[in-house]
Amino acid sequence: MPYEIALYPYGEQHDFRPGDPVFVKLGKQCKGDSSAGVVLRPALVSTAITVPTASECADVHVSGEEYPDRVLVQYNDDAQTYYAWPRRVHHIFGPNRIIICRDTAQYRVLARTQVRAGDSCVEIGCSYGEATTFLLRKCLDVVGIDISRECIDFCTEKYPRGEFLQLDCVEDPKALANAADATSGRCTKLFIDIGGNRSLSPLVKLIPLALSTLQPELVVIKSEELHRMAEEHLNSVDHLLVDTLPSSRNTSSDQLPPDYN
């Protein structure tokens, strides 16, 4: 399976186009999080569209005014439209991508925004489950992996819906097969955080094995050093990570296609 490499965050975070699939982070008084699609950039809309539940949400505004600084989205579940602050709207990446982020905050945003109901996720380096909790909110099943017995025991007790395995996937490649067996079907999303600021050597060793064994649709990697290297010379990263796979492609932060379907 060919993969494109993309950096996160990329280019202009709020450069939304009609038809882009997006994730909308809503307030607690609303229905939580939701997938949606961008209808139009508000600057192109002459009048706002009435939203029946507008009074219930601080970020939704009733018709009769214009909101050129917001994004007009339409929810997938009920087709209602909504004027959202750009900071609450996140692009959803399409399949066959390896997304590289720098830090823990970005990694958790991606864990929250890039999964959906029906996904089977594997997280390598789950630690105490701070990102795992976002995966468990939506995914059909989640397998968390860590080398620490303490972390696995903690997550097993705190997140009973997930399955947690103490494995060293870097030193024991066969351990990845155990993770694949633990999912119902195949892994659709793979998240990797095995030390964001550490040497690239274990990460570079792990990734081709994980891709060939689990064959996920989407991969999210947290690594400050890998992100820095990718910014400087992304083709080298493409070679390091996926040279063992056929027809690997690479995508810089300003080359992402306008649609994310």
pLDDT in tens, the chain (261 residues): 688 888 888 655 567 778 888 888 876 545 456 666 665 554 444 333 333 333 334 444 333 356 777 888 888 777 788 888 888 888 888 899 999 999 999 999 999 999 988 899 999 999 999 999 999 998 989 999 999 999 999 999 999 999 999 999 888 877 888 777 877 768 999 999 986 555 788 888 899 989 988 999 999 999 998 888 888 876 556 655 554 443 444 444 433 333 333
User: What pLDDT score does 247 carry?
Assistant: 40
SS (H, E, C) the chain: CCCEEEEECCCCCCCCCCCCEEEEECCCCCCCEEEEEEEECHHHCCCCCCCCCHHHCCCCCCCCCCCCCCEEEEECCCCCEEEECHHHEEECCCCCEEEEECCHHHHHHHHHHCCCCCCEEEEECCCCCCCHHHHHHHCCEEEEEECCHHHHHHHHHHCCCCEEEECCCCCCCCHHHHHHHHCCCCCCEEEECCCCCCCCHHHHHHHHHHHHHHCCCEEEEECHHHHHHHHHCHHHHHHHHHCCCCCCCCCCCCCCCCCCC
Entry pTM: 0.78
